Structures are given as C-alpha cells and as structure tokens.
Amino acid sequence: MKNTLKKSLFIGVAALGLVAAVGTANATQASAKSYAKVTSNKTLGGDATSRNVNFTGKSALYTKAGTLRGARVKASKAVLGSFANSKSSQHNVRAYRVATTNRGSVYYKVVSFDGAYRGWIYGGKSSDAFGGGVAQYNTTTDPAANPDANGSVSSSATINTQGQTNALSATQKAATYKIANPGTSNDGTEVTYTYPAWTQYKKGRVITDSTPYKDATFKVVDQTVRTREGDLWVKIQATDSANSKANGWILYSGLAQATPATPVDNFNADTSVKIAYRDVTTGKTLDKTNVWTTASTGTKQGNAVNALVNSAGYSLTQYLVNAGAPSGYAFKTTDGQAAASDAKNLTISPVISGAKFGDTLTVDVTPTAAQTKVQYYYQDTEGGAITALPATAFASGYPALTAAQQAAALPDNKTAGSFNMNDYFQDWTLTNKDGGGRFIYNLILAPNAYTAPAGELTFPNTNTHNNGPVTGFFGQDLNNGTQRYFYSFDGKATLNNNAPTQQKGATVKVVMQRYITSKALPTQTTDANANTDYVAK
C-alpha cells in the first residue's frame, strides 16, 4: 500500500516536472518570438539644427532599441524627465541615427551635448516627426523685443551689460564694446564661440584666449537667447579687421562698453549758434546738436547773426534747413510740407530771425517711420511651404550689409506710408537693379555671397541641378559634413508670400530657394562696416 502510494506520487511528481519543463520550453520560445527585429538603421540627414531634441520623460534610454533582445536601460524615464526642464544647455540632445523595427516602432540614437548620455530611445511610430521619448527642440530663441530697439541713439549713455535678457536697445546696438575680462575661462564671458556655448553639438570656441584682444573693440551684429538658461548672447565683430580672428558669440554680460572718445566742443559763443532738436511726441530734447559758425571775424556773444554766412557760404537759416533733422527724425512742419528754404514752416525757439551769437535754437522734430526689415525663410519646392531660417542656419549668420546697402535695398523711412513689394523684391536683372530688384541687387553685395556655376547645386526634392549660375549663401553642413545647404533669393516666392502693398516699418518675408551642394565652404569674410540691422530679430 505504501509502496503503491510512493510510486503514484513519484509518477505524479515526475509528470508535473515534465509538464513544467515543457511549459518552460514553450515560454522560452514564446519569449524569443516576442523580441522585435530591426528592419532599418540609418544615419539621419538634413540640417543638423533640425535634429536638436529634448527628452520628454515618456521613454527610457537603452543600449539598443528597447524591444530588442539584450537591450539594457542606460537612463530611466524619471532621470530623462528631469533633464527636460534643465537649466543647463549641456543637457541639450542631438539625434543622429534612426532605426525602425518590424513592429513599426521608431527608435532614435541620441547623445547629450555634454556626451554623458548616449543611446537609443523610442521615438513613436513615424520617422517623419520626433515623438515618444524625444521632441524637437530649439536650443536658442529670439530675445523679447526691446521697446527702444528702433529708437534714437544716445552716444553719451552709460551701458550696463549685466542681467539683460531682452533684445538690445538702439543705443546698445550702436555702441562699441570690449571684452570685459580677457582671459581663458570657458564660461561664456572671456572667449568667443562659433555658436552660443552648448547650443550646437560639438561646436566650440573660436579662440581659447582673449588676452591678445584686450584692447580690441567690437560691434554687436547679432543676438539670441539660450533657451534653457535664458541668458543673452551676442555675436561680435571687430571694428579693426586685424582682430577679426576673435569674431564670434559671447555672453552680453561678458562685454563692457568701450570708453567713448571725449567729444570735441567746437562751440564758441562769440562766433557760433547751437541748434538743438525737440521730439514733439515726448517733449524731450535730443542729445544730437549741430553748430553753425560764422566765417566773419570780430563778432561777439550777443551780436545779431543777421545775414552772416559760414565758411561754406550758408547763412544760419540755410545751414539749419540743409543739415536736416537727426537720424530717425524729420522736421515737424506747420503745413505738412517739406521744410521751406527760409524755415518759415518750422517751429524754432527762439525765432531764427532774431538769433544772436551764443544762442541755442531748438527746432521741433517728429520720429520718422520705423525701418522696414526682413525675416528669412526657405522653401525646397516652388509653391511649397516656407520655413523660418534662424541666423544659425547660415554658415556665417545672416548676410551682413553696409548701412548704404540697406538704405538702397529697402524703402526709406523719411516719411510714414506704404510701398509696393514689386518696387523692391523682384528677382534681379541688369535692367532693374535700381527698380524692382533693389533688395537682391544689394543682398548679393554681402561679403559672403557666392556664385555657384551651373551644375554645382542640387534641388533637394528632385535631385536636378541648377542649369545656370546661382548667387547665394552657404548654410550649415549635413551628412556628416560631406554636403552643405545653399540659399538663394527667390523673388517670385517672396512676392507670393507677402501682401503686394506693405506699410513702412513692416517685416517682409524674404524667401530663399534651398539647394544642396558638395562644395567645401570657402573662407568666410567680414566687413567691419556691414551689419544685420535690417533683419528682424
């Protein structure tokens, strides 16, 4: 009886063991079948800046696609989620490979800008747009508008560069700067960078020691804010080309206003009359003045000026009218017409007919229309959607133009009113350089304009080549530096994407045709007299 029971128990246990073994084998097979397989794994192309991403915290980072056999977690969702709102740009992330599994899942291989985190992360079900554990991210943003960005310039103002996060004022943009503390520190304040620090992957310093440039002076030609830190960075350009090797991006707080030259006061009360200007919209007197000085001898303070003239043969009245109003202003006339040659329609205090040597005459002026500016866009196909172009999309930032070129390219701001787009933004030909093609005619005078011969450029969507020379500007590299984007003005697309009539002071959408080229980037040049003030930022 006991032996029978033992045998029965033994057989039962053995049978259970067999079932368990079979079950385990089946479970192993089922688990093996549950692993995904990679059906595609390739390098991401396109503009590198379009592949900057941010962690969302919705997926962990793996050694390989998370559903593959052997995938291990490198960083948890919680850790990556904490980076999403990081205040350090070192936590910016670049995606550089994309893999698709047989289940239709997309995984991106990514690396943090500081190199601390590298691996694969789930990116959704489509490679057309980032999703899942990553989202597209702009590492820099335009600074908040400054209400005085287009105001009058005060050359005597004291500029404080510390703590500012909004855009520069007109006075700050016009100022000249030095690097406040020349040295070797890599903290954004002592040396210059190809881009604001940590905003583009593996893009570092222009110079590693600014000590040789301790006496160099610079103008600001561009500005942006790092998205994470919210700090203001500016692109500086040496006023002397001998110091151009230091040109680059630096924290605005790393600059100090260059000591302005002591103005020469050529006002002599015995021989001169000073002319000041009052802004009728604010009631304030501008810091800009002019001085008329007689060519006669023997005059004394308090003597009547009458019809005496200066060395150029101008009477006081003629000089005042011909000198005009300060930049950004026009005379406020009593009849709405241009200033009369005898100044009878100007408001001047005291009256000019009774002027005496040593007097200061104050003339009423009014601000002129805001300067018309442009914002760059690109399209890949004719009639296609347009996409904004940041300064970082160009190899050397937005094309720089001299003040004279900007004045010729865009409507004047002497008076308010409207203008026709056809008068400025048509494609350029030899017959209309002073007519409808004014903008492009002056744009291609920028220092870094390049004319690509026939066949050197490729249209991205058709793989066809340009059949004639095309003048434009190099963009950022792609495909691991083997190619570059190239942007050329498209007058037809520009006119199609703007209203035919614009108010002066408007921002015009300038559309560029985007190409791809294998030509190596030529040496980029600068012009100390050129800037990007004409671009809306």
Q: Return the CATH number at 205.
A: 2.30.30
Q: What percent of the chain has pLDDT over 70?
A: 90
Q: Which residues contact 455 (CB under 8 A, 6 or more apart)?
A: 465, 466, 467
Closest by CA position to 89, among listed 221, 191, 231, 282: 231
Domain that holds residue 423: 373-517
pLDDT at 9: 32
Specify whether 218 is located in the same domain as 127. no
pLDDT at 60: 96
Specify whether 119 is located in the same domain as 180. no
Q: Where among 309, 337, 367 does a domain terminate?
A: 367
Specify whether 443 is located in the same domain as 513. yes
| Mean predicted confidence (pLDDT) in 157-162 | 89
| Mean predicted confidence (pLDDT) in 183-190 | 94
Let me know: does 70 contact 58? Beta carbons within 8 Å: no
Let me know: does 99 contact 106? Beta carbons within 8 Å: yes
Residue 153 lies in a domain: no
Specify whether 185 is located in the same domain as 316. no
pLDDT at 325: 85
Beta bridge partners of 465: 458
pLDDT at 260: 60
C-alpha distances out from residue 158 to 150, 177, 400, Å:
18, 12, 27
Q: Is 366 exposed, middle or buried (0-12, 13-18, 19+ CB in 10 A)?
A: middle
Write down the mean pLDDT value for the chain. 87
pLDDT at 5: 32
C-alpha distances out from residue 267 to 156, 324, 476, 521, Å:
18, 19, 53, 53
Closest by CA position to 291, among listed 311, 313, 276, 277: 276
Distance CA 136, CA 119 (A): 17
Let me know: does 425 contact 419? Beta carbons within 8 Å: no
Q: Where among 367, 393, 422 does a domain terminate?
A: 367
Let me know: does 98 contact 127? Beta carbons within 8 Å: yes
Residue 452 pLDDT greater than 70, yes or no: yes
Specify whether 399 is located in the same domain as 445. yes
Let me know: does 484 contact 475? Beta carbons within 8 Å: yes
Residue 304 pLDDT greater than 80, yes or no: yes
**Where is average pLDDT lowest: 69-73, 150-154, 330-334?**
150-154
pLDDT at 23: 40
Closest by CA position to 203, among listed 259, 272, 249: 249
Specify whether 225 is located in the same domain as 329. no
Specify whether 395 is located in the same domain as 434. yes
- The one-letter code for the residue type at 90 is Q
Specify whether 377 is located in the same domain as 334. no
Let me know: does 243 contact 214? Beta carbons within 8 Å: no
Phi, psi torsion values for 33, nearest 5 degrees:
-70, -20
Distance CA 208, CA 376 (A): 32
Residue 161 lies in a domain: no
Residue 26 pLDDT greater than 50, yes or no: no
Peptide bond just before 350 cis, omega within 30 deg: yes
Residue 530 lies in a domain: no
Residue 144 lies in a domain: no
Specify whether 121 is located in the same domain as 211. no
Let me know: does 423 contact 434? Beta carbons within 8 Å: no
Q: Where among 198, 230, 257 does a domain terminate?
A: 257
Phi, psi torsion values for 59, nearest 5 degrees:
-150, 150
**pLDDT of 223-258, one tens digit each?**
999 999 999 999 999 988 889 899 999 999 999 999
Specify whether 441 is located in the same domain as 357. no
How does residue 282 score in pLDDT terms, banded at 50, 70 and 90? confident
Classified as helix, coil or strand, 35 is coil
How does residue 526 score in pLDDT terms, banded at 50, 70 and 90? confident
Residue 154 lies in a domain: no
Distance CA 21, CA 350 (A): 111
Give residue 419's Cα distance to chain centre.
Answer: 26
Residue with tokens 């583009």: 200
**Where is average pLDDT lowest: 51-55, 176-180, 205-209, 265-269?**
265-269
Specify whether 102 is located in the same domain as 208. no
Distance CA 484, CA 478 (A): 6
Residue 147 lies in a domain: no
Specify whether 114 is located in the same domain as 193. no
**pLDDT of 337-378, one tens digit each?**
888 999 999 999 999 999 999 999 999 998 877 789 999 999
- Into how many domains does the chain fold? 4
Residue 320 lies in a domain: yes
Distance CA 41, CA 110 (A): 13
Residue 266 lies in a domain: no
